[in-house]
Chain A
Amino acid sequence: MHIRQLRACRGGFSYLDVMVAVMIIGVAVTALVQAMASTTKVNVAAREASVAVNLVRNIHERAMSLSLSQVDALNGRTFTTPIGSDGAALTGYDGWSQTVQVGRVVVDATHDIKANATGTPSTRLRRVNVQAVHKGAVIYNESWLLASTGF
């Protein structure tokens, strides 16, 4: 009697219990895996965005230390090995590149700012556009005006 009762108590989980538990945990784990995948993806994107902003900022700070003619010389340059604000090549940025475009800002009679304007008369004002590109995709694009410090 005692043994039979014990056997009854150790009867364990029913198939139904196990199936329900496995199903619930399965759904949860699946959702968790998806969440992790999504999180990883978002984190990668966030990291890329941060890297891109910093790479553009490098060019921005670099440009601020250059003369206008030196900035002009950056027009059309693509740094397949990204550079820092001191102009030195950076390591650990495989697949990244910085693309620089420099355009004139012509302040005409109405003093409208013309993006990408060319021709004369020129001014000592430039528009610098930098793209941070990762594996062919533009991650961040920034544009700003730069003036010569002299006359």
Chain B
Amino acid sequence: MRNRGIAAILAMIFLVFFSVLGISFCSLATSSMHGAKNDRDAQVAMAAAESGMAFIQRTIADITMTQSQATGQAAMQAIYSKLRTLDGTATLGGQSITVNADFTTITVPAIALHANEKIAQRCTAQLTLNAADLTADRPDISLRVTGSNSNNSSFSRTLMVTLTSRDRTLEAFTYGVFAKGRVDLADGKASVIGTPASAGSIGSAYTGSTAIFLHGGDISGNVYVSGDPSVLFATNSSSGSVGGVDIHDSASLADALTHVHEIDPPTIPLFNANQFAQLDSSGTTKLAQLPRDAALFKGKAYSDVCITQDVTFAGNDVLQGLIYVKRGVTVRFNGNPTIQGVIVVEDPNLDANGVPIAGSNVTSTSTLNFLGTPIFATPVWPMDSIVPLEQQAVLADYSVLGPSAYIYISGNGGSNKEYAGFGKTVVCGTLEEYGSGMVKIRDGTLITMSDTMVTGTEGYSGYFDGDGVEIQRSPGYHAPYGGYVHLFSWVIESSTYREVTQ
């Protein structure tokens, strides 16, 4: 009788045991699930912080400054001005960017990173400058971004980086041909050929229709347009090629079009020709004045001259050193003269601006006509005492630096089909090319800066009705460093990227 009821007790013990076991299982499962959820929320918060950092970085990167503008306070003011365009927008939930009195701290309120989606990420940001750096040139700026999952505000992640100023890379110099406006390879033979292949690429910043028009020639590199390629690139021929892919029919055209890429709006170089205006020596006695009758000087050599009257040079003439052409003067090179030095032409379209041209034939102050078959290599520099060294360094990177000049090239390239051979980069406003030969550029880029419709070029800033352009770059080629205004922005210094644990 004493053992009666033991089964119930045992059962209760088992019941408790199983209950504990069951609760443990549930607890374990809940913990596991919570762990996964926490992991997910932390990941979302981190993504929010990284997204905010990318957004701030991108917004700030659009700010360009020159050296003279680059004190710490000026930089913070520029950044503040840029960011406050977000004030009142849905992005900031109607709030505003704030800055403290001495411009050392800019505070960005909650940014709704994906306001239109179920993913509710937000981030706040703060840019900080040390007070001691307010007057410093191009100082570093701290950026701190805290991201959170709006559905679970207990999770947040904070990232910090240092923003440092960095020169902007200008894509224009990477292409074989870069046009601010439209390019028309109008003749069936008109081509852009490059060595290496990338030097045979064309880029255009034009955003209207048909930025680049191919009529049957070859483009050995890729085509880069700033918008929809189907709108900005056109061909009207069943021949030619792009990126080495021949165009025979619609199928091959589709293959060729894979070499037509859309790019973000490129930064247009701002060429600085003003610095050469000081080379005008017409008011001094240092440089010889050419007489009005240039025929008297045929077959002779001229050195360091300032041309103040219209003049025509013939094929045997040699010009050396600095040749400065005053505004409004027409200088014509017929035949094959030799030019060893720099021709600086004042541009009649720009007051008090000098347009330096190295290794070129010139027919007027506003137009450069290449009517013979001159071939120029890297310019010769016998004018050390005349041209400051820093300007010589600039000129050494260019064959033509005339951002508003109109260049007309026509002639017969002869057996090697080459005329108007340039040793370095050619910068002009508009270029028009006719004849049987290719414009050849070694170690450089052809850049046309006109973005307006020019009647003489059928509305294109680059118009090729001859054989086109060939660019041959040596392995050691580097883009020009001088001659244009260097711009820089504040970008993330990746080595300073860190998560803040507080």
Using a CB–CB cutoff of 8 Å, the interface residues on chain A facing chain B are 8-9, 11-14, 17-18, 20-21, 24-25, 27-29, 31-32, 35-36, 38-39, 42-43, 45-47, 49-50, 53, 56-57, 60, 69, 105, 107, 110-116, 120-125, 127, 140-151
Q: Which residues of A contact B207 (CB under 8 A)?
A: 120-121
Cβ contacts under 8 Å, B113 to chain A: 113, 144-145
Q: B43 and A46: CB pair below 8 A?
A: no
B499 within 8 A of A: no
Cβ 8 A contact of B50, one of A31, A123, A144: A144
What A residues does B32 contact at CB under 8 A? 42-43, 46-47
* CB of B12 within 8 Å of the partner chain: yes
Q: Is the CB of A21 within 8 A of B10?
A: yes
Give Cα distance in the complex from A45 to B115, angstroms.
Answer: 28
In the bound complex, residues from chain A placing their C-beta under 8 Å from that of B15 are 24-25, 27-28
Closest A residue to B50 by CB, please name it: A144
Are B30 and A42 interface neighbours, CB within 8 A?
yes
B54 touching A146 by the CB < 8 A rule? yes
B33 CB contacts on chain A under 8 angstroms: 42, 45-46, 49
B89 is contacted by which of A25, A112, A142 (Cβ under 8 Å)?
A: A112
**Set of chain B residues within 8 Å of A151, measured between Cβ atoms:** 61, 168-169, 267, 489
Residues of B in contact, count (CB < 8 Å): 71
Q: Which residues of B have CB within 8 Å of A17?
A: 4-5, 7-8
Specify which of B3, B43, B91 is in contact with A113 (CB 8 Å cutoff): B91
Flag whether B136 is at the interface (Cβ < 8 A). no
Q: Which of B11, B36, B264, B489 contacts A46 (CB 8 A)?
A: B36
What are 11 A-B residue pairs whose CB atoms fall within 8 Å in the complex?
Answer: A11-B4, A13-B7, A20-B8, A28-B15, A39-B28, A49-B39, A115-B115, A116-B116, A123-B264, A145-B50, A147-B54
**Does A21 lie within 8 Å of B11, measured CB to CB?**
yes
Q: B25 in the interface, Cβ–Cβ < 8 Å?
A: yes
Within 8 Å CB of B18, what residues of A?
25, 28-29, 31-32
Q: Hey, which bits of chain B sit against chain A, CB under 8 A?
A: 1-8, 10-12, 14-15, 18-19, 21-22, 25-26, 28-30, 32-33, 35-37, 39-40, 43-44, 47-48, 50-52, 54-55, 57-59, 61, 85-86, 89-91, 111-117, 119, 121, 168-169, 207, 226-228, 261-262, 264-265, 267, 489, 491-492, 494
* Complex alpha-carbon distance, A2 and B43, angstroms: 77
- Supposing A17-B7, A18-B7, A46-B35 touch, asked if A35 and B26 sit within 8 A by C-beta, the answer is yes
Contacts of A140 in B (CB 8 A): 40
CA distance A14 to B226 in the complex (A): 92
Give the chain A neighbours of B14 by CB distance below 8 A: 24-25, 28
Residues of B within 8 A of A11 (CB): 1, 4
Shortest distance between the CB of A51 and any CB in chain B (Å): 9
Q: Provide the residues of chain B in CB contact with A149, threshold 8 Å.
A: 491-492, 494
> A122 touching B59 by the CB < 8 A rule?
no
Cβ of A142 and Cβ of B44 under 8 Å apart?
yes
Question: Which residues of B are found within 8 Å of A45, using beta-carbon distances?
Answer: 33, 36
Q: Check A113/B2 contact, CB under 8 A, given A21-B11, A151-B169.
A: no
Asked if B58 and A124 make an inter-chain contact with CB atoms under 8 angstroms apart, the answer reads yes
The residue in chain B whose Cβ has the minimal distance to the Cβ of A146 is B54
Q: A42-B29, A46-B36 are in contact. Are A9 and B119 (CB under 8 A)?
A: no
Complex-state Cα separation, A18 to B6, whole angstroms:
10
Decide: A43 and B29 in contact? CB cutoff 8 A.
Answer: yes
Q: Given that A38-B26, A111-B59, A142-B119 are contacting pairs, would A121 and B265 also be in contact in the complex, using a CB cutoff of 8 Å?
A: yes
Contact of A20 among B3, B7, B37 (CB under 8 A): B7
> Cβ of B116 and Cβ of A35 under 8 Å apart?
no
Q: How far is the CB of A92 from chain B (nearest CB, A)?
A: 19
Least Cβ distance of A31 to chain B in Å? 6
Which of B51, B111, B112, B227 has the most CB atoms of chain A within a 10 A radius of its CB?
B51
* In the bound complex, CA of A45 to CA of B29 (Å): 10
- Are B114 and A31 in touch, CB under 8 angstroms? no
9 A-B pairs with least C-beta separation: A145-B51, A42-B29, A49-B36, A147-B54, A28-B18, A35-B22, A21-B11, A39-B29, A39-B25
Contact A110 B267 (CB under 8 A): no
A50 touches B55 (CB 8 A): no
User: Quick one: which of A32, A43, A46 contacts B21, CB cutoff 8 A?
Assistant: A32
Complexed CA–CA distance, A47 and B29 (Å): 10
- Chain B nearest CB: distance from A123 CB in Å? 6
Chain A contacts for B115, CB-based, 8 A: 112-113, 115
- By a CB distance below 8 angstroms, the chain A residues around B59 are 107, 111
A56 touches which of B4, B43, B58, B168 (Cβ 8 Å): B43
Bound CA–CA A111/B58 (angstroms): 12
- Which of B39, B52, B168, B264 has the most chain A CB within a 10 Å cutoff? B264
Min CB distance, A124 to chain B, in Å? Answer: 5
6 new A-B contacts, CB < 8 A, other than A113-B115, A143-B114, are A9-B2, A24-B12, A38-B25, A142-B43, A143-B119, A151-B61
In angstroms, how far is the closest chain B Cβ from the Cβ of A32?
Answer: 5
Alpha-carbon separation in the docked complex, A105 to B116 (Å):
12
Which residues of chain B have C-beta atoms less than 8 A from A69's C-beta? 261
